[in-house]
Amino acid sequence: MRIDVITIFPDYLNPLREALLGKAIERERISVGVHDLRDWTHDVHRAVDDSPYGGGPGMVMKPDVWGEALDEVCAPQEATPRLVVPTPAGRPFDQKTAVRWSNDPWLVFACGRYEGIDQRVIDDAATRMPVEEVSIGDYVLVGGEVAALTMIEAVVRLLPGVLGNPLSAEQDSFSDGLLEGPCYTRPEVWRDRPVPDVLRSGNHAAIARWRRDQALERTFHRRPELLAALPEGDLDKADRKQ
């Protein structure tokens, strides 16, 4: 997969080279390009923003600079990229979105700052490529870089060969519509707190049942709306006793 990020703060994306993402680059599972938006400015101040039409506080990112940047970065190759525009006013990003994007050959992230990017940039890009305006949560960050990092990490860990054990992704929260239950490691007793007996029983069926029950309980208490959204067939008889 190819991933490009356009930003006025390229260093913000340095964590892309660390840990799991860094390894994915080394193993050539992904190739990453981070581009400084100011490279497409033509004035001495390298301005990327201007005051908003209609008045109001803050500044808006200029369409001419973004337009040239996207023309170059998204220039047609064998594949067409999906353009991702992080914005608090976007559709919520979730695990389903991550899974869907993990099948794409190419993602381009356009990181806004200030009040955001002139809407015409997004509307114009949408005539040439799929474009999604997405939010990582109901709060407002100062820029799209952290949102892009969040989404890239969620997508890249789903690519084959990236996680040490591919089963991890299959059993994580949201994969079956539920939150994952608690997990434990050695020692068996820590500060007078023992690991639940069932996990040391060696009884795989009992362990699977316990994990499922914990996931149901945790989801019920923390995210009841997820439980309510489960298709009827996803709950077995033993689940319904919970």
Residues with a known catalytic role: 88, 115, 157, 172
To the question of whether residue 141 is assigned a binding role by annotation, the answer is yes
Distance CA 62, CA 48 (A): 6
Residue 41: CB minimum distance to ligand SAM, A: 18
Residue that has been written with the tokens 């497409």 in this structure: 40
Among 80, 95, 97, 135, binds ligand SAM (CB under 6 A): 135
> What's the CA gap between 65 and 87, in Å, rounded?
19
Asked if omega into 187 is within 30° of 0 (cis), the reply is yes
Binding segment for ligand SAM (CB under 6 A), chosen from 85-93, 178-186, 189-197, 203-211, is: 85-93
136 is known to lie in a ligand binding site = yes
112 binds ligand SAM (CB under 6 A): yes
Q: How far is the CB of 87 from ligand SAM (least distance, A)?
A: 5
Name the DSSP class of 125: H
Q: Judge contact between 65 and 114, C-beta under 8 A.
A: no
Binding residue (CB under 6 A) for ligand SAM from 44, 57, 75, 140:
140
> With 0-12 CB in 10 A as exposed, 13-18 as middle and 19+ as buried, what is 89?
exposed
| CB of residue 40 to ligand SAM, shortest distance in Å | 17
**136 touches ligand SAM (CB under 6 A):** yes
Q: Is 112 annotated as a binding residue?
A: yes
Annotated binding site: 112, 136-141
